[in-house]
Amino acid sequence: MDELERQLKQDAGEIEATVSPQLRARIEASLYAARDSKPVKAVERPSSSLWWMSSLTGLVAALLVIAFFNLNRDDAGQAPGSDNFAETTPTQVERPFAETFPLETRPAVLTSPLEKELDDLQSDLEKVRENVEEDMRLAF
Amino acid sequence: MNSDEKLVSDALSGSVSAFTEIVERYSERLLRFLLTRCRTRADAEDALQDTFANAYRYLNTFNPKWRFSTWIYRIAIRNAVRSAPQGVMVEVSSDLEDQAADPLRDCIRASDRENLWLTARDLLSADAYSAMWLRYAEDLPVREVAGALDRSTSWTKVTLMRARNVLEQEMSRTIPKEREHYG
């Protein structure tokens, strides 16, 4: 410890900072108020076992979903409603069926009804929104 | 004697006496520091009260990787900054009338020389002063000082070195005068 450090320490000790009984009472009162407003409570962190259990549960659920969809696809083949139906139809159709009905579909033909469905859905949603707004206006 | 960390742990478990012991342990140390950072003694006492209330309220956020003293000084510094707008240190006037109202000067015992902390307060920035106080009055390691001030370790080292240089220059300037005066 050099001269400066020694002097700083000595001078810090010469600063009198006695806590008066009034101040002590104020501090106790504020602590009492803080205790009432929000009790001290340790942060309850989830334990590592809980984390592992939830992770494993999620993983198993995901695997089950994947397995379920894969089994269904194997059983029923490509579902007609799938998104890539238009693109994959020519190659996915089984040979005898393709020979009987030569299918040459174009994406534009198949997407058109979907667009119409989308328009209908939007229209329905708009109607529902108007109804809700009307109900809210009447209610309030 | 229980360590601070043990007391914090007990307080978190619901022990009121544990936190009361923390208050007993830190009251004077924190008040001594706050007197150097606040405009008036009343401000320092308010800041002390708020410091303990905040510490109690947010005790569950205390990270044991730091010392408890670092954490509570950090709260105290924030409260001191609130009491002095823009975090500016109290400017000490040379007028004798104003000096009478200076809480730090009032609390310093009579001595044959100027208290070095008064000199430091006049010459150093607020952060540099706090760094010096935590390092040399509280004996905190540099890493803990940096944590209390929310600064990097390198900033703290440089600031401490510059502050030391300033004070050493001041000491070398004033000591020969005193010797001449008393010699």
Residues in B touching A27 (Cβ below 8 Å): 23, 27, 48-49, 52-53
- Checking if the pLDDT of B178 tops 60, the result is no
Domain range annotation of chain B:
4-182
Distance between A5 CA and the closest CA of chain B, angstroms: 6
Nearest Cα residue in chain B from A4: B168
Is A30 in contact with B49 (Cβ distance < 8 A)?
Answer: yes
Section A3-27 average pLDDT: 86
Confirm or reject contact between A25 and chain B (CB < 8 A).
no
- Checking if the pLDDT of B157 tops 60, the result is yes
Q: Which residue has the higher pLDDT, A116 or B145?
A: B145
Fold exhibited by the domain B4-182 = Rna Polymerase Sigma Factor; Chain: A (1.10.1740)
Is A15 in contact with B164 (Cβ distance < 8 A)?
Answer: no
- Checking if the pLDDT of B97 tops 50, the result is no
Is A14 in contact with B27 (Cβ distance < 8 A)?
Answer: no
Distance between B151 CA and the closest CA of chain A, angstroms: 22
Section B9-24 average pLDDT: 86
To test the contact with chain B by mutation, choose from A6, A10, A11, A44 the residue with the greatest count of B C-beta atoms within 10 A, namely A11
B98: left (phi over 0), alpha (psi -120 to 50) or beta: alpha
Instruction: Provide the pLDDT for residue B91.
Output: 47
Instruction: Provide the pLDDT for residue B73.
Output: 92
B137 vs B162: CA distance, rounded Å: 17
Nearest Cα residue in chain A from B129: A8
Q: What is the pLDDT of residues A85-96, one digit of tens each?
A: 555 555 555 555
Is A42 in contact with B116 (Cβ distance < 8 A)?
Answer: no
3-class SS at A15?
A: strand
pLDDT, chain B, mean? 80
Q: Which residue has the higher pLDDT, A21 or A76?
A: A21
Instruction: Provide the pLDDT for residue A138.
Output: 77
- Checking if the pLDDT of A108 tops 60, the result is no
**Phi (first) and psi of residue B82, to 5 degrees:** -65, -35
Instruction: Provide the pLDDT for residue B81.
Output: 78
Return the H-helix or E-strand segment holding B129. helix B126-132
Contact between A89 and A103 under an 8 Å Cβ cutoff? The reply is yes
Section A113-126 average pLDDT: 86
Confirm or reject contact between A106 and chain B (CB < 8 A).
no
Largest CA distance in chain A: 105
- Checking if the pLDDT of B161 tops 90, the result is yes
Distance between B102 CA and the closest CA of chain A, angstroms: 13
Residues in B touching A28 (Cβ below 8 Å): 20, 23
Residue among A15, A35, A40 minimizing CB distance to B12: A40
Q: What is the pLDDT of residues B128-142, one digit of tens each?
A: 999 999 999 988 999
pLDDT band at B60 (very low <50, low <70, confident <90, very high): confident
Is A16 in contact with B168 (Cβ distance < 8 A)?
Answer: no
Residues in A touching B27 (Cβ below 8 Å): 19, 24, 27
Distance between A47 CA and the closest CA of chain B, angstroms: 17
**Cα four-point dihedral sign B76, A24, A19, B70:** negative
B68 vs B64: CA distance, rounded Å: 7
Q: Is B35 exposed, middle or buried (0-12, 13-18, 19+ CB in 10 A)?
A: buried
Residues of chain A above pLDDT 90, percent? 1
